[in-house]
Amino acid sequence: MLEVFQELQANMELGLEETNLILDPVHRFERCTKLVIRAIDQLKGLVNSYSFQSPEEEIHYFKTVCPAFYSKHFYFTKLYAIERLKRSARKKNLRKTFNHDLKEIELFFSQNKETCDYFYESLTYRDHEFFRRDWTHEGVIEELAPVIDVNLTITSYKISLIVANEKYRVYLQDELKRLDSPGEIVDVSDVTKDEVTLGISKSFLVEEIVALQLSGLIKVNGEPASLAWLTKKAEQLLNTDLKDFKSLDYANRGRKDITPLLSSMIKKSNERANRLNK
């Protein structure tokens, strides 16, 4: 059953990765929320028709599998609400909202110190108490009830919030920095008059953009650049159209050699090093 959970999570992650091509953050996070809710529904269906084969399997599900799904739901729900607010709220009200949510996060961590310590220290001595069906969650927040598994343990729920709040705190801190130091990224097409064109196929360019995003080599406002940001900048710099990015990426993943450009670059780099080191 573990393999089924892993496949479901991998499909969810792939869907979330593809949303990076949606430039409008409201639409992107709305799509993310729907993808996670769908995955949670599938997860609940699997568990409702399955009997855990051992206490250890049950503990793994509630300790590791559940939080991987629910934490994303909590996180993207928050981001969707904030991005919608940013469309109409004034700077003063945004700052007030960001600071309020940051205080709520700190209050959560303070009130749940025991669970936080257990999670961060990777402890196991109370697993049978924290991650078994007998310890179900009570008092689920009303607006989250449609996606909460009735068998989700209170500790699973709290760990999901710990993970979500960690990411949400970083997001809020970055938003406050933008309010304090507003500035737009310089459009590379404005700083050079050189004629720059694409010297490889668009399939190779897509392969390179995906590799750059996964490596986290480029940071934007302290976070790894998204596929959408990298794609936009590649279009501007190379004067090319990548509206078919998604279909090109799909085709690349089906190739016998998934990374021919990267393989060629590694080969040429090794040849250069060997030549210069002689």
Residue 169 CB partners (closer than 8 Å, separation 6+): 102, 105
CB half-sphere exposure, 189, CA atoms < 13 A: 10
* Spatial CA neighbour of 75 closest among 6, 152, 172: 172
Residue 230 C-alpha from the chain's centroid:
16
Of the candidate ranges 133-142, 167-176, 196-205, the one whose mean pLDDT is the lowest: 133-142
- What average pLDDT score do residues 256-273 get? 84
Quote the crossing angle between the two packed helices 154-180 and 91-111, to the nearest 10°. Answer: 150
pLDDT (mean) for 24-47? 92
Considering only CA atoms, give the Rg of the chain: 22
Separation of alpha carbons 94 and 98, rounded Å: 6
Highest mean predicted confidence (pLDDT) among 99-103, 203-207, 216-220, 260-264: 99-103
| pLDDT value for 195 | 67
Could you give the angle at which helices 91-111 and 66-86 cross, rounded to 10 degrees? 160
**What's the confidence (pLDDT) of residue 204?**
86
- Dist. CA 83–CA 31, nearest whole Å: 13
More confident residue, 49 or 222: 49
Element (H, E) at 219: strand 219-220
Query: DSSP 3-state assignment of 270?
Result: helix
- pLDDT on residue 191: 42
Burial class (CB in 10 A: 0-12, 13-18, 19+), 15: middle
Say what the alpha-carbon torsion angle 215, 220, 230, 187 is, to the nearest 10 degrees.
-150
Residue 139 pLDDT more than 60?
Answer: no
Long-range contacts of 232-235 (CB under 8 A, 24+ apart): 232/23, 233/188, 234/205, 234/209
Mean pLDDT value of segment 190-209: 73
Q: Distance between CA 176 and CA 171 in Å, rounded?
A: 9
CA distances (Å), origin 211, targets 15, 231, 264, 267: 17, 12, 14, 16
Percent of the chain whose pLDDT exceeds 90: 37
Mean of the pLDDT values across residues 218-222?
Answer: 73
> Residue 110 and residue 261: Cα distance in Å, rounded?
49
| 118 has pLDDT over 90 | yes
State yes or no: pLDDT of 188 exceeds 50.
no
Indicate the helix (H) or strand (E) that contains 223: strand 223-224
Where is pLDDT greater, at 50 or 164?
A: 164
Average pLDDT, the chain: 84
- Segment 202-225 mean pLDDT: 82
pTM of the model: 0.66
Residue 187 burial (CB count, 10 A): 11
Using the structure block, give the residue that is written with the tokens 């309010």. 179
> What was the pLDDT predicted at 85?
94
